[in-house]
């Protein structure tokens, strides 16, 4: 896989998804450079063999330095926290939209052969049909989704204007080993951390009507590598499990895995994201993509890793100004 590329740049390679991706690329024998400002990760968490360039995608000079010699770029670095985008939309835009422009521009100048942009299912907004395929309308309702969608348009325009071959990935709700509890808002890790600390699981929205597509980070990495290797230029692909899981079902899985019934506190007055968000993965499947980590297996592995009394999740799920989320 990826025989055409020897040197790979991963932006955000010290973060949650980026760290797993860098490790997988190293296992394929690639030279891996990581650009990261270490705001959500640490140098000690980088896989052995990766070269760290400490810098920020918002800084064009630092970005250009990191891109020198790269043949393949995975652009993972981002503000991935929707609440932060509501509270500080300028930071979100400068990181996700302007930052993506800087990465694309550096890749163009470095004559990169392939560009993989890690976008988000948040670009879709509220679902109009189920499951969601890549042709679903894109109407994001928080700044995070809008800034990620802006990055998609920039990728497509750089391909058309400058011939920079790119592909866009839209991961759904990613969870797994190494999430930062200060930033992560995906329910799997948050719920499990509350439960392991013998605290109520705080469910934002309707516990039965709110459903999600939880995809393990290892499956996301599988999808990203396949897109870099086999996808057509300018194409967009969902990366998910293709499985629908309600918040109640998730709490039941957590209770089953830990052999202790979960206590739940439902925050029913916040309903902005009470909807069915599940990926149609039929487009990526012919490339060889097949989710391998079931939710039960993924939660079990994560529970064993976190152990007793892990760090509690921080930050609240907020969709509009002045709103209060979890306590």
Question: What residues act catalytically?
Answer: 144
Contacts of 161 (CB under 8 A, 6+ apart): none
Do residues 203 and 316 touch, judged by C-beta distance below 8 A? no
Task: Classify residue 269 as exposed, middle or buried by CB count within 10 Å of its CB (0-12, 13-18, 19+).
Answer: exposed
Neighbours of 270 (CB within 10 A): 20
Contacts of 77 (CB under 8 A, 6+ apart): 11, 12, 15, 18, 35, 36, 57, 95, 99, 103
The dihedral sign for the CA sequence 12, 201, 123, 238: positive
Residues in the chain: 327
């Amino acid at each position: 896989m990826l025989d055409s590329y020897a040197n790979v740049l991963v932006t955000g390679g010290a973060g949650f998804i980026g760290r797993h991706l860098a490790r997988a690329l190293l296992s394929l024998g690639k030279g891996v450079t990581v650009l990261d400002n270490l705001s959500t990760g640490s140098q000690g968490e980088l896989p052995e063999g990766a070269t760290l360039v400490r810098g920020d995608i918002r800084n064009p000079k630092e970005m250009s330095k990191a891109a020198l010699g790269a043949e393949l770029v995975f652009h993972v670095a981002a503000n991935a926290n929707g609440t932060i985008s509501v509270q500080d939309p300028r930071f979100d835009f400068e990181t996700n939209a302007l930052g993506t422009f800087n990465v694309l521009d550096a890749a163009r100048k470095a004559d990169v052969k392939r560009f993989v942009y890690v976008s988000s299912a948040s670009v879709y907004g509220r679902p109009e049909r189920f499951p969601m395929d890549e042709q679903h309308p894109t109407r994001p309702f928080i700044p995070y989704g809008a800034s990620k969608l802006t990055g998609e348009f920039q990728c497509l325009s750089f391909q058309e204007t400058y011939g920079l071959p790119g592909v866009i990935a839209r991961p759904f709700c990613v969870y797994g080993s190494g999430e930062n509890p200060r930033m992560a808002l995906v329910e799997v890790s948050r719920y499990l951390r509350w439960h392991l600390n013998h605290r109520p699981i705080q469910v934002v929205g309707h516990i039965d009507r709110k459903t999600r597509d939880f995809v393990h980070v290892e499956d996301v990495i599988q999808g990203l590598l396949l897109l870099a290797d086999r996808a057509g230029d300018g194409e967009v692909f969902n990366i998910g499990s293709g499985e629908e899981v309600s918040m109640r079902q998730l709490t039941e899985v957590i209770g089953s895995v830990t052999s202790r019934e979960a206590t739940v506190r439902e925050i029913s007055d916040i309903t902005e994201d009470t909807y069915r968000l599940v990926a149609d993965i039929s487009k990526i499947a012919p490339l060889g993509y097949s989710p391998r980590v079931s939710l039960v297996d993924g939660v079990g592995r994560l529970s064993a890793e976190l152990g007793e009394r892990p760090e509690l999740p921080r930050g609240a799920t907020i969709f509009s100004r002045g709103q209060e989320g979890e306590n």
